[in-house]
Structure 1
Amino acid sequence: MNKSKGFNWFYLLIFGALGMLFLPKFFSMEDTRPLDSDGFFQMMKEGKIKSVTLMKDSGEADVYLTTSAKTKIERSNNPLANLSGDTPDYKFTYGDLQYFQKKFDDIKQTNPEVKTTISFDNSESPMQGLIIQALFWIGIMFLFYFVLFRRMGGSSGGGGQIFNIGKSRAKLFDEKEKVQVTFKDVAGLEGAKEEVQEVVDFLKNSEKYTKLGGKIPKGVLLVGPPGTGKTLLAKAVAGEAKVPFFSLSGSDFVEMFVGVGASRVRDLFAQAKAKSPAIIFIDEIDAIGRARGRGSLTGGNDERENTLNQLLTEMDGFGTDTNVIVMAATNRADILDKALMRAGRFDRSIYVDLPELHERKDIFKVHLAKIKLDSSVDIEFLAKQTPGFSGADIANVCNEAALVAARNNHTAVNKQDFLDAVDRIIGGLEKKNKAIKPSEKRRVAFHEAGHAAISWLTEHAAPLLKVTIVPRGRSLGAAWYLPEERQLTTTEQMLDEICATLGGRAAEQVVFGNISTGALSDLEKVTKQAQAMVTIYGLNERIGNISYYDSSGQQEYSFSKPYSEKTAKLIDEEISKLVENQYQRALNILKENREKLDALANKLLEKEVIFREDLEAIFGKRAWDPELTETPLEDAEKEEKAEIDPQDTSK
């Protein structure tokens, strides 16, 4: 493809004007010599001067010699000497005009043989002044054109001209530039992959659906937390569909110039329609798809709203026969405009959730394929150690583990490298050289031991994996737990979690008789949990089965609360009561197990890091652990087998 832009006549015009202005002066600078007024009058008396021209505007005079006088003076060898016509032989400043003219007339009267003539002129012609002014303004216009419009237009492609500001900035992936990502590279998103595979199948075999009267969705919206693989899934669609794929971000539509966003939307859909069947992918669509009028004081003439209106029009104007599908991704679906979400625009919304245990295992397999692993690495174990991790987090764990192994000069990445990587990501960088006073270190040890003890002694709290009093990040101590992966949470489970979170401050109160500021993050966590129990989930008896949660997000911009002042006071009382009851419960549990708490804290002070096995050695096994208990169904099956004698054929 020839990308040459051709000859630009604008540059020829500029160089021509400059030549007209400066070349005559350049050609006339070669043979003119300076002279003073006395020398001029002396040469005039000798009859050597043919004529003199006085420049009224500059006060200078051009002196032209006679033919005989010219042959007697030394000439220069400049070949440009005579290109510009008859040039003056001398130049001088004549001073006062009346004095000069009086002396000139006196010499002519005294010496009648002197034939010198005098004339008057201006040093610059009016046309030359106009040319200079025109060139000045042309230069200013060229400067604005090049610096402002050309540079800005060049970043948007299409030749970099001013008229390309409104062109789409979407990157096109087609047969010339293919996407290498396929569905094999996307692990753990089985449900989402099935949904988008149908979109790919329609673009490849549209007659399969249209002959039955079906219509493919015009828009597919990928929704989910950050890092779950929404953009990766869209890239896989581009790699599998083998059709033109336009990819851009929502912020690419917004520009400082009014109307540019709407113009880019029109241009994007025009390009996609020309290359139909095609896919348009808009990442972070909430940049332009935010609900109109929400929290905005700019009125109706808002550039972002104009862009959204144009997007709504384009998506609604496309027919199903154009085979243009719009895909979009966002992690803020709650703030999108309802008109954008309605059927006929984004017909299908696919939720891309955080991966579960088996999905994390598949994601680990994808990322570990490129890493040299030790035989001690168990993918099942790694998947269990990373609850709540997204696909991006798992990729980060694998990369961090490889860096840790290289830092420790290992020949392969082993199990401990992965554990260190998880600790690094969750808790932050370990600060072994941070100086802590012995009294503070002892308080931190009992604080962390209190968390561990309560979580071990309550049924529904997450069991402990590891506790350390080595400073990490901004914290002086850290504890790792293995939370149960559940879809629903009961009241008892939330109360046990609050109690375990308050275990650190309760341990300080039991052991030292006072409390410190080290429980800030714990208090923030339990306050939010208690607020959610009372105002969102309806888990409080006095408030009742009422939820003040607003999923539409409109309440955020409201100046009034959805409840009265009396109810607000009641909510505050119930939140405080709930937290204080669990704090008192934590105090009672730790007082009953004071010896075990002291033993655990002392071991933590001694080893700085303790694990699950250390808690089992002090507290014993948890009575409600799955491996120690059997379900009622299993017990019933065992009793039934015991009642039936295998040798008795009558039963």
Structure 2
Amino acid sequence: MANDKRNTLRPRFNIYWMWGIIIAVILGWAYLGGGGQQSKINWDVLRDTLLPAGHVQRVQVLNREVAQVYLEPQSVSYYKNQERYRYIPDQGPQFFFNIGSLEKFENDYQAARDSIERTAAGGGVAVPALTFENESSGWMTMFWQIFPFLLIVVFWIIIMRRMNGAGGGGAGGGGGVFSVGKAKARLFDKDNDQKVTFKDVAGLEEAKVEVMEVVDFLRNPGKYSELGGKIPKGALLVGPPGTGKTLLAKAVAGEANVPFFSISGSDFVEMFVGVGASRVRDLFKQAKDKAPCIVFIDEIDAIGRARSKNSGWSSNDERENTLNQLLTEMDGFGTNAGVIVLAATNRADILDKALLRAGRFDRQIEVGLPDIKERAEIFAVHLKKLKLDPKLDTDFLARQTPGFSGADIANVCNEAALIAARKNKNQVERQDFMDAIDRIIGGLERKNKIITDAEKRTIAFHEAGHATVSWMLKWANPLLKVTIIPRGKALGAAWYLPDERQITTREQMIHEMAALLGGRASEELTFGEISSGALNDLERTTKQAYAMVAYYGMSGAIGNRSFYDSTGQSEMMFGKPYSDETARLIDREVNALIEECYVLAKKILSEHADGLRRLAELLLEREVIFTEDLEQIFGKRQAGARNPLETGDSAREGNGTGDGAEGRGGRVASLPDAVDETRQEAEPASDMNRPEGE
């Protein structure tokens, strides 16, 4: 056991250690010279001090340039005791100096020798004669000449190996610095163990039908060729992040039973000029060698961004050269028989039009956010790995997560398991999923945040205003839960369950905006003043109002006109697509629209002032209230309005202090942090109120 522990703690050997040891030994030998270093002196010291004292054993002229002084053995310790000469070696030479002209040095030395011997006649001081030595520079000198270049080469190789991932990975691996132009695509084939099939992809039924046609062609090409049909050369998967585009491509690889090359668009981008185009050529060369096959390019917008029409404005020659090579390979003079290109992006609006034309990417497959049925299927896939409460209803979880993508649902399941483990539970229960949804939407609870009583009362009436207006207006989103416990940057929050509708009427938008303004209206009616807590509400209301006037044509003064640019090329414009007079008219219409909604909110709150006060006091007492609490105060919602209680979308559990708060909504209207005055958007991404194509 002790030996195993020592082996575990022992550091692993690294080849760079050997380099460090060798360099240290060489430097030590060169500079220490076996325990010391010659000290440089001048001719005066030798003539006036060393020679008259009789400390010199011999003086040697090396290569007619340097005089080396060897001391008598008994004199070495004398000089080593002096601070200046303490590092001279025990074995000579101990001193040296440059002599300049050899002939002059010989004359000066002989003259000094004669003078010292005459002066010290009979005294026993003997001055040695000069000796001469010629030697080559040796391998050490050669080494020091080539050592800097050797270091440069070594560092260059190390850097290039790191840049190329040590030359590994996929079809383009190996070769180190010489493989920089090789494609780094990962190859999947029928022998690959990590297979994903369409059974592993929940939802996305329409998208699966499209890509299964590609798989069917690769399996049975004769079925289409007999009728004269040709399979599309490319298919582009388009959709928001986290909706399963890459997972769908992996399923195609598992179902097709043909070679499948997977590469990211960023893998074509390199610091060296021409490398991107070279990797595109190499990728398609490998694909042609293994045809029929599929090439999948993830995040193709990294290289497929629209090329600049003005070379001096935001152009990137290297990226554009890579795109040009990709366009040529997909539909150039060459043939790509049997090579089908799949690509994925969430920024189709910025892709080059030449890339999207027929003959390259013949079809675009929309991979959108899942609906309630598809969310239930996705939950069923991710819940298989969890130890669940048998009473858990998957359909209930699907109803609580409108606007969630597949990645969001996977995150909910993981967070629920972590919350259950944190509470030492033996299984993941429904309440854990509700807490996970609240955590993801609103942020982490911050019960220890210091809030004064006056601020807490303002927050309570603010949130009660949202809840009251949304409950009384027919088309406002039904409320699930209201809390004044801080979450993330928000000081309070209201959870709603929005309708999953595809179109929205003007009246529905008016009711939603009035509900957003209910918080500020409640503050004004109750306290006679307003606060900074409505920052996020005002931001969302303003954007919605401008969309109604400038995009949807819902203003009588503007008429049936829209200034929305669905092509995504608005950044190329130098001005607005309307006059200054129209801009002023838009501003006036937006102001009138927001004022209309604000007046409606104040009217609702004035008519139900007693209910507003009771609701706020209940919030101050319990900190969390639910749908049934609003029903007890205000009664049932008016006919035609959707009530979460009637569909089982909300259930009250917990102790009423916020720990057991359950229920979840797609929209949160809450107070921002009083200092930061900004807060995160706690509403899941939803396209129901956005223009088509946005």
* TM-score > 0.5 by shorter chain: yes
CA distance in 2 between partners of 1:496 and 1:434 (Å):
33
Equivalent residue for 1:139, pick from 138, 144, 150: 150
Counterpart of 1:324 in structure 2 is 339
Counterpart of 1:173 in structure 2 is 188
Equivalent residue for 1:472, pick from 480, 487, 491: 487
One-letter code of the match for 1:163? F
Counterpart of 1:98 in structure 2 is 107
Counterpart of 2:63 in structure 1 is 55
How far apart are 1:43 and its partner, in Å?
Answer: 11
**Pairing 1:56-71 to 2, within 5 Å after superposition:** 56-60=64-68
CA distance in 1 between partners of 2:327 and 2:380 (Å):
41
CA distance in 1 between partners of 2:112 and 2:461 (Å):
114
Q: Provide the secondary structure at the position in 1 that maps to 2:482.
A: strand
Q: Check the 8 A contact 1:150/1:160 in 2, yes or no.
A: no
Counterpart of 2:176 in structure 1 is 161
Counterpart of 1:77 in structure 2 is none
TM-score of the two chains, using structure 1 as the length reference = 0.79
One-letter code of the match for 1:447? H
Q: Does 1:377 align with 2:388?
A: no
One-letter code of the match for 1:609? V
Q: Provide the secondary structure at the position in 1 that maps to 2:509.
A: helix
**Pairing 1:202-213 to 2, within 5 Å after superposition:** 202-213=217-228
Q: Does 1:221 align with 2:232?
A: no
Equivalent residue for 1:123, pick from 107, 132, 135: 135
**Pairing 1:472-511 to 2, within 5 Å after superposition:** 472-511=487-526
Q: Deviations over 1:73-114 (max 9, x none)?
A: xxxxxxxxxxxxxxxx99898994235678999xxxxxxxxx
Q: Does 1:305 align with 2:320?
A: yes
Counterpart of 1:410 in structure 2 is 425
Q: Provide the secondary structure at the position in 1 that maps to 2:306.
A: coil
CA distance in 1 between partners of 2:627 and 2:464 (Å):
12
CA distance in 2 between partners of 1:422 and 1:278 (Å):
41
How far apart are 1:359 and its partner, in Å?
Answer: 0.6
Q: Check the 8 A contact 2:211/2:252 in 1, yes or no.
A: yes
Equivalent residue for 1:395, pick from 410, 431, 442: 410
Identity of aligned residues (%): 61
State how many pairs are aligned: 561
TM-score of the two chains, using structure 2 as the length reference = 0.74
How far apart are 1:60 and its partner, in Å?
Answer: 4.4
Q: Does 1:457 align with 2:466?
A: no
CA distance in 2 between partners of 1:599 and 1:120 (Å):
112
Q: Check the 8 A contact 1:456/1:463 in 2, yes or no.
A: yes
Structure 1 unaligned regions, length at least 5: 1-14, 27-35, 45-51, 63-88, 106-116, 629-651
CA distance in 1 between partners of 2:418 and 2:111 (Å):
97
Q: Provide the secondary structure at the position in 1 that maps to 2:495.
A: strand
- Assess, with a 3 A threshold, how the Cα gap between structure 1 residues 320 and 304 changes in structure 2: closer, same or farther: closer
Counterpart of 1:47 in structure 2 is none
Higher CA-based Rg: 1
How far apart are 1:395 and its partner, in Å?
Answer: 0.8
Q: Provide the secondary structure at the position in 2 that maps to 1:59.
A: strand
Specify which structure has the bigger relative contact order, considering alpha-carbon pairs within 8 angstroms and separated by 6 or more residues: 2
CA distance in 2 between partners of 1:563 and 1:330 (Å):
32
How far apart are 1:583 and its partner, in Å?
Answer: 0.1
One-letter code of the match for 2:134? N
Q: Provide the secondary structure at the position in 1 that maps to 2:379.
A: helix
Q: Does 1:252 align with 2:261?
A: no
Q: Check the 8 A contact 1:53/1:119 in 2, yes or no.
A: yes
- Assess, with a 3 A threshold, how the Cα gap between structure 1 residues 616 and 318 changes in structure 2: closer, same or farther: farther
CA distance in 2 between partners of 1:381 and 1:155 (Å):
49
CA distance in 2 between partners of 1:132 and 1:305 (Å):
47
- Assess, with a 3 A threshold, how the Cα gap between structure 1 residues 363 and 131 changes in structure 2: closer, same or farther: same
- Assess, with a 3 A threshold, how the Cα gap between structure 1 residues 155 and 533 changes in structure 2: closer, same or farther: farther
One-letter code of the match for 2:612? L
CA distance in 1 between partners of 2:559 and 2:111 (Å):
117
- Assess, with a 3 A threshold, how the Cα gap between structure 1 residues 318 and 491 changes in structure 2: closer, same or farther: farther
One-letter code of the match for 2:146? L
CA distance in 1 between partners of 2:402 and 2:349 (Å):
25
Q: Provide the secondary structure at the position in 2 that maps to 1:467.
A: strand
CA distance in 2 between partners of 1:136 and 1:483 (Å):
71
Counterpart of 1:233 in structure 2 is 248
My pick for the range that moved more, 330-339 or 179-188, is 179-188
Q: Check the 8 A contact 1:250/1:283 in 2, yes or no.
A: yes
Q: Check the 8 A contact 1:455/1:461 in 2, yes or no.
A: yes
How far apart are 1:321 and its partner, in Å?
Answer: 6.0
CA distance in 1 between partners of 2:398 and 2:312 (Å):
48
One-letter code of the match for 1:57? E
Q: Does 1:541 align with 2:556?
A: yes
